[in-house]
Amino acid sequence: RVVDIPVGESLLGRVVDGNGRVLDERGSLSARERWPVERAAPAIMARAPVSEPLVTGIKVVDALIPIGRGQRELILGDRQTGKTAIALDTIVNQHDKNVICIYCAIGQRSSAVARVIAALRAHDAMRYTVVVVAAGDDPPGLQYITPFAATSIAEYFMHQGRDVLIVYDDLTRHARAYRELSLLLRRPPGREAFPGDIFYVHAHLLERATHLRAGGSLTALPILETEAQNLAAYIPTNLVSITDGQIYLSPDLFRKGLLPAVDVGRSVSRVGGKAQLAAYRAVTGALKLSYAQFEELEVFARFGTRLDEATRRTIRHGRQVREILKQGQFQALPPAEQVAVLAATSQHLLDDIPAEQLRAAEQAIRQALRTQGSALCAAIERGAALTDADLQQLLAIARAALSCMVNG
């Protein structure tokens, strides 16, 4: 008998291991089907282009590094930089998006997994989520098969025509478990003592994430832990080349309190731009360019170089953009509100507002949009393009909200 795992609706809200054994003390599973853990990836002709957005609710991701349904977007960074927080925010934001979520913990401490499950329950996300766990003290064989088992559970829902999101937390520990297995089997070690087929193992796993032509999609967010910001190590270079883009979290930004600590210059989404809601494109093009210029100029400003007025304006605007992109965990923003705030930012409406008042200004714009622009919000959520008249309406709402805040 080939290794298999129970699949089906009965797994929603449950916590299981890589063999399908129940870990949450809520009784046995009533699954009627079992699917093999190892399955071939869909053929090329069965796949469709990534064309629908997966909205995370995180401004910096949805605006500058958009993710599409069926995409594989790597989240990488040093330990304790907020990688799991981004994945959890994304899961929690699917509460009204009809997306099934799978959280796969590989080699994590049991206390860390318990905190994740508690957070999902607190935000009512477990009703559409399956948690698959291989703890750090589990045998390496179980840690190795767990992400494959979680993917089979996800594929069941995908083949039902559903949209699915799977988070692998994290593939660094998965690679180490496979290295341990291979060394125990006396296979010849390769670079960094990893077996020579580790690239194939991860490619074979992540190629199962796709958008099917017949309907249904599987979006993968693999997480990877780097050491001392070394992106040139073996596993990081492998996964960057396998995936469709990466979100890089910088420990320097994290230490400065700029959360989420996404390094926009080192992050990219290769296919998500085609799936991004059309309204974002009207406001993010200029924002990306000005922010990239700011990051270059800020380096020179640190050396005390005398700067002309235009450069000082660019730096001032860039600092406001960076402040606006800050966002607390579990504080998701709907796309329409994101677009309104980013439109006001890109049009320099927030440049003269003190940094300590930016959060209040953002809240004022969002509140004004909810009360005065409900039809525009609905159009943006549907994916309608932002016309010049729509943009002017957004900016008028923002200006009115800001003037009320300043005068009030």
Question: Are 385 and 341 within 8 A, CB to CB?
Answer: no
Closest by alpha carbon to 150, among 31, 26, 238, 38? 38
For residues 331 and 362, give the distance between their C-alpha atoms in angstroms, rounded to a whole number: 13
Rg over CA atoms, the chain: 22
For residues 321 and 325, give the distance between their C-alpha atoms in angstroms, rounded to a whole number: 6
For residues 8 and 100, give the distance between their C-alpha atoms in angstroms, rounded to a whole number: 11
For residues 209 and 217, give the distance between their C-alpha atoms in angstroms, rounded to a whole number: 7
Question: Which is catalytic among the residues 270, 281, 319, 370?
Answer: 270
Question: Are 211 and 38 within 8 A, CB to CB?
Answer: no
Q: Which helix (H) or strand (E) holds 52?
A: none
Q: Where are the beta strands (DSSP E) in 253-390?
A: 268-269
Report the sign of the C-alpha dihedral through residues 136, 11, 49, 383, in that order. negative
Would you call 368 helix, strand, or coil by DSSP? helix
270 is catalytic: yes
- The 8-class DSSP code of residue 33 comes to E
Tokens of 190: 């390769």
Question: Are 269 and 278 within 8 A, CB to CB?
Answer: no
Q: How many CA atoms lie within 13 A of 29 on its CB side?
A: 24
Q: Which helix (H) or strand (E) holds 44?
A: none
Would you call 72 helix, strand, or coil by DSSP? strand
Closest by alpha carbon to 76, among 67, 68, 87, 66? 87
Closest by alpha carbon to 393, among 279, 313, 258, 292? 279
Any bridge partners for residue 42, and if so which?
none
For residues 221 and 218, give the distance between their C-alpha atoms in angstroms, rounded to a whole number: 10
Q: Catalytic positions, please?
A: 270
